[in-house]
Amino acid sequence: MKFFRDTDSDTLIPYVLTTGLILLLSAAILPVVVLMFLQDLLFFSHDHWSFIRPQAAYQGFAAGMVWLSLTLFSLLFTKMYAETKRKDYKLAGLHVVLLVLALPLFVLSIYHYSYLEEDSVHVNSFWSLSETSIAWNDVTAVTRTVETNTSRVLAYTFSNGDAELTIPYDSQDYKTARAISRIAGQYDWETIDVFKDTGESLELFEEE
C-alpha cells in the first residue's frame, strides 16, 4: 500500500499499463491453460472416468483477470488525477483491497469441477470449496436438459431423493459421453427430458 501511495504515476505507468493490458488481452485464452494445469495438478486421479471443467470456471477466472486489470488502470488514472490537482493520494488502500478481492474468484474457479467415477458422481459447485457426491446405487431419478430447437443435450441431473447434482454435457467430450453411456447402460435408469430454449436453432434445410 505504501508503494502505491508514495510512487509517482510516471514510475507506475510502464508496469501498470503492461500488466493491465496483458491481463485484459489474455483473459479469453489464459484461463483455459491455467485451469487445465492447476486442476490436473490438484485433482487428477486414475479413478476418474471423466473430469469436467464447467464453463463457469473459465468465466470466473477470466472475470478475476479483468477485475485485476481494471483495478490497476483505476489506480493509475486516479493517482495521475491526484497529482495534477497536487493532492495527497488517499485511494491506495482501497485499490489494494480491490486487488485482493480478485483472489476468491481465482480460488472458486479452480475448485469448480465435476467428475464421474465407477461408483459415483462428484460435483464441486462454484460457490463451494467442498465436493458433493451421489453413489450410482443411490440414484433415484435422472433428468436430461435438452436444447429445444436443436435437441442437443446440455446437462444431466442425478438425484437420490435428498440431493441433486447437475453436470454439464457436451457430446464432443468423448470421455464424458462414453462414461454416461456406460453408466446408463449398467443401471438402466428412466431418463426424463427437460427442454430448454437457448435461442439456438438447427437448420435442417437451406433455401436456394
Contact 15, 58 (CB under 8 A): no
pLDDT of residue 78: 94
pLDDT band at 203 (very low <50, low <70, confident <90, very high): very low
What is the structure's pLDDT at 27? 97
Q: pLDDT for 112-149, tens place per residue? A: 999 999 999 999 999 999 999 999 999 999 999 999 98
How many whole angstroms separate alpha carbon 143 and alpha carbon 165? 10
How high is the pLDDT of residue 199? Answer: 63
Q: What is the pLDDT of residue 164?
A: 97
pTM, to two decimals: 0.89
Across all residues in the chain, what is the average pLDDT?
92
Name the residue with higher pLDDT: 65 or 208. 65
pLDDT of residue 119: 96
State how far Cα 84 lies from the chain centre.
41
Residue 26 has pLDDT above 50, yes or no: yes
Residue 207 has pLDDT above 50, yes or no: no
Binning pLDDT at 50, 70 and 90, where does residue 48 land?
A: very high
Alpha helices in the chain (DSSP H): 2-6, 9-26, 30-43, 55-84, 92-100, 102-110, 174-187
- Domain boundary assignment for the chain: 2-46+54-110, 114-196
